[in-house]
Structure 1
Amino acid sequence: MSDNTMVSRVENERVLVLERVFNAPRDLVFKMFKEPEHLKHWWGPRGWELPICKVDFRVGGVWHFCMKCVDENQGQFFGMESWGKAVYKEIVEPEKIVLVDSFSDSEGNTNESMPSTEVTLEFIDLGGKTKLVNRAEYVSAEALKTVIDMGMMQGITETWDRLEERLNEVK
């Protein structure tokens, strides 16, 4: 796998695995996922900002955020807000983060009509570079199809591109 190329595969019809190598040390890549001042710069697809980002980075802690479309060229999405909530299940710094990611409202209540995902992020040290492996497990193949049909693959690709740009700014 070359830098900046995301590799994806589906396992068991309900697990999406994404991998990408970032040209930055593992400690720095890990820090991008734990500190709100970094997340605000890269989380979300292009044209979206993170005006609200509250992180309680500990097992049992919650990351509650709002993505807002600020790009007028995105038509009907302009001005739209998308709220999310993640609950941390396991943290092994700087190697792994396990969380349950859900759609939510502004109060942090989970939107039960949308699929939640158990996400395992692995940060693999490649001697100055970092391989990020994102393993997202859904309750069913239908739940995975729902988020893919919503454009999640384009969104995560743009998000990880923005992560690469942020890493280049701070290293």
Structure 2
Amino acid sequence: MADDASNVDFVIARVFDAPRELVFRTMTETAHLARWWGPKGCQIEVAKHALKPGGVFHYCMRFAPGIEMWGKFVYHEISPERLVWVNGFADPQGNSIPNPMSPVWPLGVLNTTVLTEQGGKTTMTMSSVPIGASELEREAFLAGHPSMRDGFCGTYDQYALYLASLKAG
């Protein structure tokens, strides 16, 4: 499904202090996603969530009054060991749209998340690659890696705090 674009793959890894079963559940269940997904400081509204191959997670990120951005996942594979989905920007009806901040951003990005457990901790390795992208879109994706790293690190920092709150509660 991915283009031969290994030179633009984006990869991050994190270790979470929780068993894989809990990590998988909190990464895939609607109520949990609404509590931690997205950049720091935004509120998530889940418009639709169907956890199945071909199912959609359609959501709105609200940053401040009047500032919102819509996104969408389309799930391809779902198991406690591996999640595969395509994500991109969307309109409020769930239609895929270009990135409102970068018109040369790829319309879709294939994400593969692998979860491995050892000693009660879960390592998450996520790789992302643009799909169906032009050379200009692949270049934009590559140039966006530092911003993506910051965004995903912030998101997964929130996620780690969310997991800790579940364990403490």
Is 1:37 the equivalent of 2:31? yes
Aligned residue for 2:50? 56
CA shift digits 1:34-66 (9 cap, x unpaired): 111111111112111102352100011111011
1:123/1:132 contact within 8 Å kept: yes
2:12/2:149 contact within 8 Å kept: no
Q: Which runs of 5+ in 1 are unaligned?
A: 1-10, 71-77
Amino acid at match of 2:93: E
Q: How does the TM-score come out when normalised to structure 2?
A: 0.82
After superposition, residues 7-18 of structure 1 pair within 5 angstroms as 12-18=6-12
Structure 2: distance between partners of 1:133 and 1:53:
27
Match of 2:159 among 144, 148, 163: 163
Q: How does the TM-score come out when normalised to structure 1?
A: 0.81
CA shift digits 1:97-156 (9 cap, x unpaired): 10011111110110145421000011111120000001101245314136447x322211
Match of 2:118 among 126, 130, 145: 126
Match of 1:99 among 55, 71, 85: 85
RMSD (CA atoms)? 1.8
Match of 1:85 among 72, 75, 85: 72
Amino acid at match of 2:96: T
Q: Which runs of 5+ in 2 are unaligned?
A: none
1:14/1:143 contact within 8 Å kept: no
Shift of 1:32: 1.4
Kindly, what percent of the aligned residue pairs are identical? 37
Amino acid at match of 1:87: V
Is 1:109 the equivalent of 2:95? yes
Structure 2: distance between partners of 1:144 and 1:126:
32
CA shift digits 1:69-116 (9 cap, x unpaired): 03xxxxxxx641111111111112x11110011111110110145421
Aligned-partner SS, 1:44 = coil
Aligned length: 152
Structure 2: distance between partners of 1:32 and 1:25:
11
1:123/1:130 contact within 8 Å kept: yes
2:6/2:129 contact within 8 Å kept: no
